[in-house]
Amino acid sequence: SKGNHRHFMEKEIHEQPEVISHTLANYLDFSKGRIRPGSAPVDFAKIDRIAASACGTAYYAGLVGKYWFERIARLPVDIDVASEFRYREMPLSKDSLALFVSQSGETADTLASLRYCKQQGLTIGTIVNVRESTMARESHTVFPTLAGPEVGVASTKAFTCQLSVLASLAVAAGKMRGTINEDEERQLVRELSEIPRYANQALRLEPQIEAISRDLSQVKHVLYLGRGTSYPLALEGALKLKEISYIHAEGYAAGELKHGPIALIDESMPVIVIAPYDHWFEKTVSNMQEVAARGGKIILITDEKGAAASTLNTMHTIVLPDTPEIIAPIIYALPIQMLAYYTAVFMGTDVDQPRNLAKSVTVE
């Protein structure tokens, strides 16, 4: 039931601190500051690369995972949307891990990609929310997300739980591959353990985000920009907005702005910039300057350090607490979900059952 929430989506957004906490506890031993032995039963030291695929929001989670695996474990990740992957007949090495991400475990294209990789003799690992799903059954290794049933068609808590699993696996892989030592493992585990606390703080921004959403519900087009791990968040923000509010939105890597989309910028199209104060921040700010110089209206989502460092005039600034870099994509998902949610509420759309969409896409 929705309890005292207006929509399942709102309820599921608010469940995130708790379900992320359950999910993390499956992989991390908080008291020892270690990856739980046996929680990632793949010998990452023997794997040469990861071939990942998924659809929609699960694909964006995988894209964030790519940044983590490559940075923390020095493990290269090829990732593609499953509808392309399944027909590409990509040359695959048997020493690669085939990794799939799916809430339902039933998505037709992702399942077909999984079966293709299995036929090619790869080890199959799947991050999945529904334990008794087809993908879970057909995988060698299941990495569960413990999000509980997700009812809203727009994925929210499944996404942040997928990210939590991917971050934990990247740390496990780093440990096995010797790219991080025990101190670094302990430090990363401690940072991951703080996600629920930061997520609760992010939820407190709800009244401000609701007010900003009133403005957003008046516009026809929205552009989302981000760099590094914020780039997949920009894609996810745009997807979430278009699927439930029907407002046209695009997500771009901030550095791609000048290669085309900058032509769209005028005062009628807000630009949502996702920019925690990380090692990409300065670059993203210079892209924001290009937007501001063309009269673009900026909604900046950043942290306290970022808000202090940015000298730009923004239409709105959403200020999250300063977070460790590894957890930022998980925390920044919340304001992005709330923006889409409240904008859709102002538009009066059917938030939990958007037109033309199904919760589980079992046909290609």
User: How many binding residues for ligand F6R (CB under 6 A)?
Assistant: 15
CB of residue 151 to ligand F6R, shortest distance in Å: 11
Residue 55 is a binding residue for ligand F6R (CB under 6 A): yes
Task: Name the DSSP class of 360.
Answer: S
Pick from 16, 53, 103, 126: which binds ligand F6R (CB under 6 A)? Answer: 103
Q: Examine the residue annotation and report whether 359 is marked as an active-site residue of this protein.
A: yes
CA dist 57 and 357 (Å) reads 14
Judged by CB under 6 A, the residue of 23, 110, 145, 337 near ligand F6R is: 110
The two three-digit tokens of residue 11, written as one number: 């309820």
For the chain, how long is the longest CA-to-CA vector? 55
Residue choice 104, 145, 302, 310 for contact with ligand F6R (CB under 6 A): 104
- In angstroms, the CA 53 to CA 218 distance is 35
| Helices assigned H by DSSP within the chain | 8-14, 16-27, 56-72, 82-88, 108-119, 134-138, 157-177, 182-193, 195-203, 206-216, 230-245, 281-293, 304-309, 328-347
**Does 102 engage in binding with ligand F6R (CB under 6 A)?**
yes
Contact between 57 and ligand F6R (CB under 6 A)? yes
Residue nearest to ligand F6R (CB): 56
CB of 337 to ligand F6R, least distance (A): 9
Amino acid at 260: G
Binding-residue pattern over the window 130 to 159 for ligand F6R, x denoting contact by CB under 6 A: ------------------------xx----
Whole-number Å distance between alpha carbons of 206 and 334: 9
Distances (CA, A) of 133 to 126, 225, 235, 253: 11, 35, 27, 34
Nearer to ligand F6R, 154 or 275 (CB): 154
| Binding of ligand F6R by 299 (CB under 6 A) | no
| 154-183 positions binding ligand F6R, by CB under 6 A | 154-155
Q: Give the CA-trace dihedral at 91, 68, 252, 235, to 10 degrees.
A: 90
Please choose, out of 1-9, 104-112, 271-279, 317-325, the segment that lies near ligand F6R by the rule CB under 6 A. Answer: 104-112
Binding part of the chain for ligand F6R, among 50-58, 213-221, 306-314, 345-353 by CB under 6 A, reads 50-58
**C-beta of residue 226 within 8 angstroms of C-beta of residue 273:** yes
For residues 55 and 82, the answer to whether their CB atoms sit within 8 Å is: yes
Nearest to ligand F6R of 189, 235 (CB atom): 235
361 binds ligand F6R (CB under 6 A): yes
Question: Taking contact as CB under 6 A, which single stretch among the options 51-59, 216-224, 308-316, 320-328 is the one that binds ligand F6R?
Answer: 51-59
- Rule CB under 6 A: choose which of 107, 229, 287, 343 binds ligand F6R: 107
**Measured from the CB atom, is 109 or 278 closer to ligand F6R?**
109
Choose, from 118, 242, 283, 359, the residue flagged as catalytic: 359
Q: Are 272 and 225 in contact (CB under 8 A)?
A: yes
* CB under 8 A, 24+ apart: contacts of 63-66: 63/231, 63/232, 63/235, 64/163, 64/166, 64/229, 64/232, 64/233, 64/329, 65/99, 65/101, 65/163, 65/166, 65/167, 65/169, 65/170
Specify the residue, 55 or 189, whose C-beta has the smaller distance to ligand F6R. 55
**Which class for 323: exposed (0-12), middle (13-18), buried (19 or more C-beta within 10 A)?**
buried
Is residue 233 involved in binding ligand F6R (CB under 6 A)? no
Is 353 a binding residue for ligand F6R by CB under 6 A? The answer is no
Tell me which of 52, 58, 79, 300 binds ligand F6R, using CB under 6 A.
Answer: 58
In the complex, what is the shortest distance from the CB of residue 335 to ligand F6R, in angstroms, rounded to a whole number?
Answer: 16
**Rounded distance, CA 317 to CA 307, Å?**
8
Report, as residue numbers or ranges, the catalytic residues: 359
Positions touching ligand F6R (CB under 6 A) are: 55-58, 102-104, 107, 110, 154-155, 239, 243, 360-361
